[in-house]
Amino acid sequence: MNLPAELIQNLVRAALAEDVGGGDVTTEFTVPADRRGTAHIIAKEPCVIAGLPLAKAVFNELGARLTTLVLEGELTDTGQRICEITGPTRAILTGERTALNFLQRLSGVATLTRQFVATIAGTKAEILDTRKTTPTLRVLEKYAVAIGGGTNHRLGLFDAVMIKDNHRAILDARGSAALAEAVAAIRRQRPELPVIIEADTLTDVERAVAAGANHILLDNMTLDELRDAVELVAGRAKLEASGGVRVATVRQIAETGVDYISVGALTHSARAVDLSLEVLP
């Protein structure tokens, strides 16, 4: 997943406008306008770095220059220098928090994702993200998931059909054939869209297969139920385990034979990593 240059520029300008507003009054009163300097962004803990293109754009926008010292997606150690910033000291200090906010948030998402991915190594399962993201920042957070080695699920309501429990309840009220009829209508009118159906029970799984689902979301099922679902479906649809997945439990889930494991925590609960910007004397 790549971030378009125009998107980066728009997000960076909006973030700077939010933080700087009418001007960085502290820096204006404490730092001479003609002073130039150098600073480093340093990892204060091991982490997977994500967001360097945004940090670079922050300082470019203010007239400073950022040089990366690690690769996007690289696992860094405590004390490692991530990048070097050179230019007007005022620009470095004004951009500090905005650049760090992008880097710390996205690196946190990438780092947590890498933990999940590493934990299920050797199984066939893939780690998926969800739509449980920060409003207006979904594309950045999903980008960070990809940098961490996860797989991006649907970006929004427009790029896949997902018939969830509330949709199913409405369809069920219309009769036992309504689910299959809805899938058939989707196939006729939007054949390019994958059809995902949520299932709470093995009976729901059978109905989803009969309706022609490409992909079945197994919601909050036990390990035994997941194994039974894998056997029941026998490759006729992709299977996704979902619901309260943690690093401590994800390996057992992957070993049931499901194709995907979706983890909302990647984006709604990732902790920002600890990075700092230090201006050289």
Q: Which residues are catalytic?
A: 97, 132, 164, 198, 219
259 contacts: CB under 8 Å, gap ≥ 6: 124, 125, 126, 238, 239, 240
Euclidean distance between CA atoms 277 and 199, whole angstroms: 48
Per DSSP bridges, beta strands 81-88 and 126-128 are: unpaired
Euclidean distance between CA atoms 135 and 133, whole angstroms: 6
CB-based burial label for 71 (10 Å; 0-12, 13-18, 19+): exposed
Q: Which residues are 143's β-sheet partners?
A: none
Per DSSP bridges, beta strands 36-43 and 275-279 are: antiparallel
